[in-house]
Chain A
Amino acid sequence: MNNWVAITKLEEIPVLGARKLQTEYFDIALFRTGSDEVFALRDRCPHRGGPLSQGIVHGSAVTCPLHNWKIDLQNGEVQGPDQGCVHSFDVRVEEGVVYLDLASLESAA
């Protein structure tokens, strides 16, 4: 069952940028693409734990700032030829407000 919680206004996340969201379990990275889609991933690269929220966002991917791994924002899959996956969480935007599904977060915690 979903449990949507308002996190922030869309405008608080820079276009082609990200914000770090601190939770009691771990940090989450909220990304905003060039077409104003918002995605949420755990803020930890599967390679060496780099903070993905600090990477450069391009298309619907983010490049980790530590060693340039590319991660697909839609599903958290590492783009080939590297391999790995980072947890992704359900997000939606309604009337300029970003909502996160706590249920998807808690199932990962």
Chain B
Amino acid sequence: MKKQKLILVGNGMAGMRTLEELLKLEPDMYDITVFGAEPHPNYNRIMLSPVLAGEKQVDEIILNTIEWYEENGITLHTGDPVEAVDRKKRQIKTRSGLVCDYDRLLLATGSNPFIIPVPGHELTGVIGFRDIQDVETMLACASKYKKAVVIGGGLLGLEAANGLMKNGMEVTVVHLMDSLMERQLDKPASALLKASLEESGLNFLMEAHTEAIVGDQRVKGVRFKGGSEVEADLVVMAVGIRPNMQLADSAGLHCERGVVVNDTMQTFDPRIYAVGECVQHRNNTYGLVAPLFEQAKVCANHLAHLGFGRYEGSVTSTKLKVTGIDLFSAGEFNQGEGDETLVLQDPAQGVYKKLVISDNQIKGAVMYGDTMDGTWYFQLMREGTDISSFRSTILFGQHDLGDAGHGDETRVSMLSNEAEICGCNGVCKGDIVNAITSQGLFTLDEVRAHTKASASCGSCTGLVESLLASTVGEGYAATPSKKALCSCTVYSHDEIRAAIANQELKTMPAVFKSLEWKTADGCPSCRPALNYYLLAAWPGEYQDDAQSRFINERAHGNIQKDGTYSVVPRMFGGLCNANELRAIADVADKYQVPEIKVTGGQRIDLFGLKKEQLPSVWKDLADAGFVSGHAYGKAMRTVKTCVGKNWCRFGTKDSTGLGVKLEELTWGSWMPHKFKLAVSGCPRNCAEATIKDFGVVCVDSGFELHIGGNGGIKVRVTDLLCKVETEVEVLEYAGAFIQCYREEAHYLERTAPWVERVSLNYVKQRVVEDEAGRKALFERFKQSQKPAQIDPWRERAEGSEGHEFTPLRLARMRAAS
């Protein structure tokens, strides 16, 4: 088949990112030609400020080299802007007279700096701040002249002013409004910023209305309303940008403030797409890089004829790229009607933080001086997280959330290079920063692959992400608003679970096909997740896929470092008797078990068994009445109990008896992650129920039910769900809570982070307040337990999955003949 022709107009970040995304999806679908007005290959426009300030060189900000275009078979025309589009003939025409046909056209014409049309605006020495040429002009001026005026006290203006000052010029910033960066900052933050910039040497003229630029050929000064003037050898206009839609408009495409596109980035001509600063989407235009990249991803998906993926607009955040000034802003930063604000102010330290809150969700944030937690607030804002449970400490930052595991270490920027970030793999901050800079890493996955940091238990993921953000900079720190399950798919956990339910997908190949998996048979991340999701969605119907389970769940034992396995028989509620202990001792003798240990969950662990021995070990244990303890699985593990009122002089209830009932109800259940329960007979809480996924604390008047606790990597004390009066209710609430978690959590998400993600209020609403809903959840749990409560050990002891446990043998090796 003949390749279709794709033409990209605009060799900038948005257009080229779209091509990169397209090449990842469909490398051979199109003959691609790129036209750029500038004489350079694609460069990182947001790094122009550091280039102006002398902190980076031009060749350091090139994103796609000339060789890259050649290697990918892309024809590049630089310095030759497209001047006309003939939509009937499907042709474009360039300034040099070149005519090219297209099947699909992608417009990424960007934006133009707005030049205020005052008298004198065309004089030599009056420029915008947009491209490499502007930077070169500014640098040339700085070497010859002394005085510069920057009109515009916004993000770009301040970066330009700072850069010119660094190059030795005397710079005055002229601003129409009474505070700087008024679109990103509130007044107190703006005042701190101004004071700090004044201290570094910038001059400011606030509420100054520019009336004319004065001079003959070259600019000599700026005159304001009221007649006052300042001298200037260079005037930089940085009062805003306007989408560059001239080409689209002349081609008859519908334009308003920008080129109007729909959620698939298509213009009113279905053959023509547009991305980047030139577009107007749902009445918004964007001038920051993160939204452009989100648009690029969606546009590439449609150019590749995949036909899914929608761009639904972006929430943006801002950082100022001026060395020594930390500033962050996102969302609504001024208090509207019905909003509340939380403010932390420490003028002596130069710290100011403000959060605007509505209905216990963050609507906006302004931070000055200490922006460490900006990305965290931004994430909470985008995900609409209910902050009520940590509202009283939220201003102190993420590290202040009760995590005994890490504490102050989250202040990653202050750490020395020798500080250990990943405790599992022994990776230090310096190793990670070096890998990011020397290997050019941009994503968490890449950092994990190259350094192993956060690749094991994952508890340092947040630290690694902040390191990535602080090392690579704003452009690439933008985490996608949703995270794909793994690199085999573009869909998130929630989208996949919804598709399995709504489209009635009942096998893994059906999921791969319907959701257009990028790999033929998935990877070790997605296969176990999908296997669980299918099992949870279609209990009794879905055929479990052994090859998609981690070895522990396939072999029903815990693999140890030497390749042997450990075996933990279930002891309901931690109770056992002499016959059972004798049977375990007999097994230990018969198979010469080298080590026996009592576990934290009140069970007995037999170590050092060879895989081939497992079925006969299990047979002996089954004959003594034991079933699998599931100590190896993402499954219901144990119910730990204390002595209870049958013996204990403080006990208020029969905690062991209730523990046995809970374990009989829940054993055998597969879960998103491991799941532990405990029952304590009085508030002394000897069974440590308040660090379990589901804990019961018996009191004289009933039972306190606790959820979301964790004693692992990050200790988390449970939240109190509610109090009930009878054991029957305990079982019902437990089953409903478990089922809610089973149906809605992400695979490998413990209850602790799950409860924090969906909020305690949500869980209470589902399990406590909605009585009918609770009963329905409990019913679904009981239904799914029917096929689940079949002892996997007995099945295998009787010969099922025999190939798993029987090695092949090559008995004699003959001499090579």
Contact = CB atoms under 8 A, between A and B. Distances in A.
- Do A and B come from the same complex? yes
Interface stretch (B50-58, B516-524, B620-628, B728-736): B516-524
A97 interface: no
Interface stretch (B278-286, B413-421, B544-552, B712-720): B544-552
Contacts, number: 97
A5 B508 CA distance: 35
A7 B810 contact: yes
A6 to B, nearest CB: 10
A4 B812 CA distance: 14
A87 B528 CA distance: 28
B813 A106 contact: yes
B226 interface: no
A17 B725 CA distance: 50
A54 B551 contact: yes
B808 A19 contact: yes
Contacts of B561: 48, 66
A24 B813 contact: yes
Contact of A58 (B522, B562, B812, B814): B522
Interface in B507-535: 519-524, 527-528
Interface in A1-57: 1, 3, 5, 7-8, 12-17, 19-25, 27-28, 30, 34-35, 48-51, 54-57
Contact of A102 (B550, B559, B814): B814
B339 to A, nearest CB: 46
Lowest 9 CB-CB distances: which A-B pairs, in order?
A: A54-B551, A34-B521, A16-B547, A20-B807, A56-B524, A65-B551, A21-B808, A63-B524, A51-B563
Question: Main SS of chain B's interface residues?
Answer: loop
A17 B547 contact: yes
A3 B816 contact: yes
A9 to B, nearest CB: 11
A54 B548 contact: no
Interface of B: 449-450, 455-456, 519-524, 527-528, 546-548, 550-551, 555, 559, 561-563, 803, 807-810, 812-814, 816-817
A48 B720 CA distance: 44
A23 B813 contact: yes
Contacts of A20: 807-808
Given A17-B546, A27-B807, 14 more contacts: A1-B817, A13-B803, A21-B807, A23-B810, A25-B813, A48-B561, A57-B547, A58-B523, A59-B519, A63-B523, A65-B550, A66-B559, A66-B561, A103-B816
A14 B521 CA distance: 14
Contacts of A59: 519-521, 523
Nearest to A3: B816
Contacts of B555: 54
A58 to B, nearest CB: 5
A16 B563 contact: no
Contacts of B808: 7-8, 12, 19-22, 30
Contacts of B524: 55-56, 58, 63, 68
Given A58-B521, A65-B559, A15 B810 contact: no
5 contacts: A3-B816, A30-B808, A56-B550, A63-B523, A103-B816
A105 interface: yes
B551 A55 contact: yes
Contacts of A15: 547
Given A14-B803, A68-B455, A106-B816, A21 B551 contact: no
Nearest to A25: B813
A81 B449 contact: yes
A21 B550 contact: no
Contacts of A24: 810, 812-813
B521 A19 contact: no
